[in-house]
């Protein structure tokens, strides 16, 4: 079985093509929600190929991290589209190479649906560690739909997204937020019953 690193090294060159229908049919309408009200020094965890760049708050500085150098190389090509100053670094979200309280806030876009259950709390704790007290942690994540038809469709997609992205609809990220020492503020659907925006903050 491929590791997350191996999977994204393999898929990087075609990632944007595979994701194109979802990006323009779904994601671009909701990415901006991650950044509403954010400012200062921000961390974009799992920056991928840089699809969040146009939505960064103007005047902010953003560090984008990803485990895959191949994905970061794609993001580098997109750097000019960023609305903020951007630094890109290869890094594992469960072992962040930043001092405590480095950032004013952090976001992650479809990162936690890729992380297996045993890495969810360690990754959330690391995000909480590097964000200042009271700072926001916002996540866009897939979940399994509850409606019968959508649930059935999700089951049809699962073998593909597991093979291509290592992702799952069954991650329990929202439940792990308090366990990781973060304060859950809100969790709401932003695309049907499929994608949730999870808003938390670092405890004061």
pLDDT digits (tens, 9 = 90+) for 187-200: 999 988 889 999 99
| Model pTM score | 0.93
Here the tokens at position 51 are 């699809």
The CATH topology of domain 4-202 is Rossmann fold (3.40.50)
Start-end of H helices in the chain: 4-22, 28-35, 69-77, 117-130, 148-165, 173-179
Query: What is the per-residue pLDDT for 153?
Result: 64
Tokens of 125: 């704790």
User: Can you tell me which residue has the tokens 């890094």?
Assistant: 91
Average pLDDT over residues 33-50: 97
Domain ranges of the chain: 4-202
Question: What is the DSSP pairing of strand 105-109 with strand 85-90?
Answer: unpaired
**CB of 126 closer than 8 Å to CB of 137:** no
Angstrom distance (rounded) from CA 87 to CA 64: 6
């Amino acid at each position: 079985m491929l590791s997350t690193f191996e999977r994204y090294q393999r898929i990087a060159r075609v990632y944007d093509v595979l994701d194109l229908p979802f990006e323009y049919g779904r994601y671009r309408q909701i990415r901006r929600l991650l950044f509403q009200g954010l400012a200062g020094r921000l961390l974009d965890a799992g920056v991928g190929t840089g699809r969040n760049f146009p939505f960064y708050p103007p005047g902010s500085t953003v560090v984008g991290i990803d485990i895959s150098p191949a994905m970061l190389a794609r993001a580098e090509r997109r750097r000019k589209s960023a609305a903020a100053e951007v630094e890109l670094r290869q890094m594992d979200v469960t072992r962040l190479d930043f001092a405590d309280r480095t950032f004013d806030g952090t976001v992650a876009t479809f990162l936690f649906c890729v992380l297996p259950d045993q890495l969810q709390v360690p990754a959330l704790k690391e995000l909480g560690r590097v964000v200042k007290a009271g700072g926001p942690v916002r996540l866009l994540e897939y979940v399994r739909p509850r409606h019968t038809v959508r649930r059935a469709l999700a089951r049809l997609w699962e073998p593909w997204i597991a093979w291509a992205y290592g992702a799952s609809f069954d991650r329990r990220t929202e439940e792990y937020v308090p366990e990781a020492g973060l304060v859950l503020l809100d969790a709401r659907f932003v695309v049907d019953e499929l994608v949730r925006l999870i808003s938390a903050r670092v405890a004061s």
